[in-house]
Structure formats: C-alpha cells, structure tokens
Amino acid sequence: MNSLGPFAVGELVKSHQVSVVQAGVWSCVEMLSYAVAMTGIASYAARVRLRSLALMAAGAVIVAQASSAVMHVFWGLLGLRVLSGLGLGALNAVVNIGASRLGSPVFVLSFVMVVQTIVFSASSLFLPYIGTAAGQAGIFLTLACIVLVLAPLMLLLPDTHGKTPTVAHSRAQMSGKEAAALLAVLCYTGGSLAVWPFTERIAASIGLVPAAFGTLSAFANILGLGVCLASVRLSRTASSMRFLAPTIVITGLICILQAWPPSKTLFCAAFSLNYALWFFIYPSLVGLTCLVDPSGRLAARSGGAWMLSQAGTTLLAGFAGTAGHYAWIGVLSFLLCLVSSVGTSFVKPFGKDGE
C-alpha cells in the first residue's frame, strides 16, 4: 500500500481536502501506527498465529480504506490512518516473521514482493483514471478492494505457533550486530522514502500529469519486478550481499535527483531506479536481521524501525515542501543512506552463515 500512497495523497491535496503539511501529518500518523503494530507484535513473534493475525489485519485495512472514501473531515481521515497503519503493520509483521520461520528470508521476501509488484503495476495504471473519474471515493474504494481480493490468499498461511525462541534471542539487550542491522534498515528506509508520499506532487511541478505519473509508476513496478526475480534467483547464496552497501549509496544519490529534479527525464530515471532498487535492498536488509535473529523478532522490529524513520522524515518533507525545499530532503536522504551502508558492513559476517 505504501507504493500506492502517492495517489491517495495527491488526490487529497488536489481536491483541497488537506494541505501539503496536513498530508505530511496524515502520512506520518499512518506510519507511526504501522511502527507501533510491528514493534508490539515483535515481542510476541514466537507466539503469533500468522493466519489469524493476517485476516484480522486485512479486515482493519479494508474498513479504514473504505471509510476514507466517504470521510471529508481531516481528523476523521487521521483516525482512519491509525486503523490502516495498525493493519498494514500487522500484515508486514506476518510477512517478516513468516520469512524468518521458513529459514530463507531473502527468498521469501523477494517472492512476496514479486506478487506485490504485479498487483501494484496494474493498480498504478488504473488509479489515475479512477481518481479523475471518481475522486477521493474512487481511490480509497479501489485500495480497499485490492486488499479484499487478496485476503483469501491469507487462508493458505499456517495458523500454528513458531518455535520457542532460544535463550540467546530472548534477552532484552540487543547485541552490536543486531543494533547495526536495525540501524541500517532505519536509515535506508527513512532516507530512500522521505519524499515518497509527495512524488506525485513533485511530478506535477515539473509538468507530469497524473496519467503520465501512473504510467511511470507502472514502469517502475515492472522494473522492480525484474529486480525481484533476479533477487529470488540470487537469494539462495550470500554472493549478492557484496552489492548491498554500494547500492544503498547509489540510492542516496538518486534521492537527490528525485527530490530536486532538473528535468522530467532525470526525475523519471531517479524515480524508477529508486523504486526498483528498493526490491533488492529492503529484502536483503531484512534478511540480515533474520540471520542475526532467526526468531523473527528483530525482523518485525525492523519494519517498525522503517515506519518510525519514514514517519519522521516524511513529516519533515511535508514542512519543507510547503516552502518548496524538497532539495534539502534529498541531501538528508543521501546522508541517511550513507550511514545505512556503513551499518551493513558490521553485519556482513552473518551473510556467510546464511549460505
């Protein structure tokens, strides 16, 4: 759903339901709720029943999105973002914990992202036209329907407890490598996604109409699908991990162009590359947390770290965007990605264990 967030934000701003600053607060609240859900569930990772949790979370997201279709009061929309964030956070926790339990986290996460990319590619093509024809109601009802259609697949999940965590992973204090893995996720997600909810607005500022942005999003999704498929193929070994740190640094440089594009061409290239590289970097980073802590607890916490970091940087981007200073967010994104790439170097030894 985060990939489709710019369409919802763009529609709300365009229809004057919210200001740019309010859109930043709106996105921030959803992300914080997402983080609360993932962090809370992380403490009970070994006892989570994946199917039950997934179905309850999907129900919460459907209700939140469908209700947002008819809600025109900012505080009401904000409250529904809390419900949506809690549901999406729980769904992400299910994916991360499930990936850890299966023992091949990068493979599982890459495969899940392949399915996600196919769905989002199709959605990106149609959402701009739905927004033009049906406005806010059309966008949010479509988002609700996407989850409703996919919900039956959650019945395939096992509904049993995980194995009891080992003593090494039940301690309250994190090791240095656990902290480094979490820091790498936090800085990468906060940096690469800081300006993400506002990309539709940035695209409009350089002359891209909503339909063109939708086509660009679909193309980026297809490019991401190719990266996903490559990641699935390479995920059985740790050889791809050697590319992780430099790819994160490259993403940081791309973020500057995405936040402050000198031309349509460079914006389209930056947007597509940032989006596509996410499909290699994020599952690889979460895979590192699974190698450090096979119980899935750290993997669930990494999702919470993602949302906490993105919530903070998105709120900052909202205020910066009001003054037309997205460029500074691009520089901040680069610096955060730099820190993330350094953090991964402290976790590298675990990649060998995962071969």
21, 77 Cβ separation under 8 angstroms: no
* Top-level class of domain 2-154+175-353: mainly alpha
**H helices then E strands: how many in the chain?**
14, 0
Which residues make Cβ contacts (< 8 Å) with residue 128, sequence separation at least 6?
7, 210, 211, 213, 214
Q: Does the pTM exceed 0.85?
A: no
Q: What is the pLDDT along the chain (355 residues), one digit of tens a residue?
A: 555 667 787 788 888 788 877 887 888 888 889 889 988 998 888 888 889 999 999 999 999 999 999 998 989 999 999 999 999 999 988 988 887 787 777 777 877 877 877 787 778 778 888 988 888 899 999 999 999 998 998 888 877 665 544 444 445 567 888 889 999 998 998 889 887 777 887 888 889 988 888 889 878 878 888 888 887 777 655 566 788 999 999 999 999 999 889 999 999 999 999 989 998 998 889 888 887 887 778 888 887 787 788 777 777 777 776 666 678 888 889 999 999 999 998 885 444 444 4
Cα separation, 329 vs 85, in Å, equals 24
